[in-house]
Amino acid sequence: MNFKKFSTSTLVVLSLMLTGMGCNGQPEEIEQLPVDVSVEAEKVVSIDGIGWGIAFLPEGDMLVTEKSGKIYRVNGGEVVAEITDGIPSDLQVNGQGGLMDITLHPDYEDNGWIYLSYASSTGEGEGSNTAIMRAKLENDALIDSEVLYKAEPNSTRGQHYGSRIVFDRDGYMYFSIGDRGNRDVLPQDITKDGGKVYRLNDDGSVPSDNPFVGKEGIDAVYSYGHRNPQGMDMNPNTGEIWANEHGPKGGDEVNIIEAGNNYGWPVISYGINYDGTEFAEDTARAGMEQPILYWDPSIAPAGMTFVNSDKYPGWEGDLLVASLKFAYIAHLDVEGNDIGDETKLVEGVGRIRDIVQGPDGYIYFTAEGDGVYRLEPTVTETSEG
């Protein structure tokens, strides 16, 4: 799917119901008001460096990871703490790698667990690879840290760490690790890390029904044939995990992640090499999944979030995807498992790395080297004729 047409706002229809009853004893629909929803980016806080991931504490404070190795705690539009105590000593900042995603356990208020992804130098070989850890936050320091997964071996290449983390309704944790620039070896081999989406229990143990348990493969692997998934979220309507991933020159994708599926990289792709030459054998092949959307040209998709808030009427169930390359948010109209129109939002703010829906229902995103913004909606009635 190649999007060419864009608009600047979304037209929706709201039905208003009478508080009294109609003649048949049922609520009476009296009017349908077309409304126009437009958004502007309002800065919440200035932050130096690359804000990679956002999470919200129950009391409302925002935690923002910064790639070089710190976590900003934000309250009332100000950075009230720069958390460095407890940041892993094996963190390696290399190319696209560093301190990356952050998310809270679904039962955070009961157990206090925070989950982080980072580029770790621990293990076999020079360089680093993606690690997943959990820790607790106490007095602006990370304590009780546990590494739950570490990809092997390390690589000195600086690309494709993946690293987005998301929980599903059943409490399983999913995370992504890119192909680390080794596309011809890792993504199609289920015995090797890289180019995969993984699923673990919240304590790092492997669910017994993971697709490759008891087979010749890595037990933690859930799907394979990926390039570099940097956006992932659970669809609130279906409970399915959706992910986006970077293609090469063209061929960025959105996929629905299902157990044991092969998403084709690099055997099939809608992209080409950066020098203009072709490499993929085809764009489709039996036994390999097709994306539900692909971009050409590439937009370099990063964070993504589903909207299930009433702050943006008519957007419920739609998908927002951050673009690094073109510095905008792609608003994708979702109907079931299909994606329709795309609308560009807040163009020109900067390279957008992460985007999340906050507990207040508003959408927040990070602009690299700048800070965190909130999407401020304006809802206006429009003429019907």
Residues marked active site are found at: 160
Token representation of residue 351:
């390279």
The two three-digit tokens of residue 153, written as one number: 């071996």
Closest CA to 120 of 147, 101, 144: 147
Identify whether the C-beta of residue 358 lies closer than 8 Å to the C-beta of residue 370.
no
DSSP-H helix ranges across 80-146: 108-111
Beta sheet of 51-56, edge-to-edge order: 51-56, 62-66, 70-75, 78-83
43's tokens = 């800065």
The rounded distance, in Å, linking the Cα atoms of 130 and 92 is 10
Nearest Cα residue to 53 out of 305, 340, 306: 305
Buried b (16+ CB within 10 A) or exposed e, 88-97: beebbbbbbb
Instruction: Quote the CA–CA distance of 61 and 53 in Å, as a whole number.
Output: 14
Q: Is residue 153 reached through a cis peptide bond, with omega within 30 degrees of 0 on the bond before it?
A: yes
Q: Which residues of 262-273 are buried (b: 16+ CB within 10 A; e: fewer)?
A: bbbbbbbbbbbe
Return the HEC string of 235-271.
Answer: CCCCCCEEEEECCCECCEEEEEECCCCECCCCCECCC
Hey, how many other C-beta atoms are within 10 angstroms of the C-beta on 155?
A: 23
297: preceding bond cis by omega (within 30 degrees): yes
> Would you state the structure tokens that stand for residue 52, as one six-digit string?
């990679």
CB 192 within 8 A of CB 179: no
- The two counts, helices (H) then strands (E), for the chain are 1, 25
How many CB atoms sit inside 10 A of residue 185's CB? Answer: 12
